[in-house]
Amino acid sequence: MLSGSALPVMQRLFCSASPLHELADLELTLRPLDFRQAARFWGIDDPGLALLVHAVVGGTLAYQHYCGDHAPSGPDDFDAWMCRVVLNPRTPLFLEAHHLLQEETDHWDRALCHSVLAAVASGCSTQGEIAECLGIPLTEASHCLALLQANALLHGEPDAFRPNLVRLHITEPLLAFEHAAIWPHRSALEQQEVVKVWRRVRPVFDSAVARPHFAQVCRDWVMAFADPAVFGARPSTAAHGSLPDPVHHADLEADVVVRGRVDVRSGALLSVGVARWDEVMDVHHLEHLRRLLALLGARGEEVAHTRCACYSGVGFTPELRSAEADGDVVLVGLDRLYGGR
């Protein structure tokens, strides 16, 4: 039995030119656990804590062992767990993101790969935005992005409203966490008191790691766990969508755009939703979605049966709950994400 975490290395071991090629009886790729499975694996019952831990280590089973088989004892222990385990230079997890990038990118320019991942983690999601952020030619950025996608470190998917616009995101949560929050503070973590460094980093973690990760978990919930009746049909895709607003001269964003299948044409628009990790959601979020639907309708999209949805990690106001009772909006909180349909 041969096993390894570096996909390119394993592929080379068993390629057609390798002497091992004809000896292989089984090739099995193990995927990370989904967010619900990961919570059970780590033994975490609190959904808010489970999401924070998943935003750091994802669903990779080995990372629990890298953490000394220690999970936070509760929500109040998360910051202390980060300091004593994740950001502890003596634990194997501390340099795992660095080793992962080294293994997967082989002999490529790793400094450029780090810079590209940092740009994506900071919010740049298209090739043009990444090249502009780094101040490099588009062709140079494209070559690096192609490498990272070929090694499954980046994933691109079409914008839900503009299919020709491909948006990129980091597939491995540990890499996203590293490049959004930790990379600029590596030397400080090795030289200064970890608690003080984490106190500076925590706001960045909340905004650049937890918030987009929560939105991705909401999209994963739609595809894997939501009852088809929630959106009126079985979802085909759940993606981020943005549309230029000619009135306010800014993009109108939707974090969870759900489409179903309609023959071979573009999928029917089942739902548009916004996800807010750290906001109590109110009727103004619903109004945002209604403005977006009006704009989509003016562009020829069929929106008569499209359902508005709000996803929150904190909760919803009574007014929004009342709108839910009237059938005007679908509300999805952490309890529903981790235990409901």
Q: What is the CATH number of the domain that holds 109?
A: 1.10.10.10
Contact 100, 92 (CB under 8 A): no
248 and 332, same structural domain? yes
CATH of the domain at 325: 3.40.1350
284 and 177, same structural domain? no
pLDDT of residue 108: 64
Residue (of 306, 245, 304, 295) closest to 270 by Cα position: 306
What sign does the dihedral 72-78-84-88 (CA atoms) show? positive
Give tens-digit pLDDT for 120-170: 999 999 999 999 999 999 999 998 999 899 888 899 999 999 999 999 999
Residue (of 299, 309, 325, 323) closest to 271 by Cα position: 309
pLDDT of residue 8: 65
Instruction: State the pLDDT confidence band at 36, using cuts at 50, 70 and 90.
Output: very high
Q: Which domain holds residue 167?
A: 96-191
Average pLDDT over residues 244-249: 80
Q: Nearest-5° angle of CA 92, CA 95, CA 96?
A: 75
Residue (of 26, 98, 37, 25) closest to 64 by Cα position: 37
Q: Model pTM?
A: 0.92
Instruction: State the pLDDT confidence band at 24, using cuts at 50, 70 and 90.
Output: confident
Report how far residue 69's alpha carbon sits from residue 83's, in angstroms, rounded to the nearest whole number: 15
pLDDT of residue 147: 87
Helix, strand, coil shares of the chain as percentages rounded to 5?
Answer: 50, 15, 35
Query: Of the residues 76, 105, 132, which one is the last residue of a structural domain?
Result: 76
pLDDT of residue 60: 93
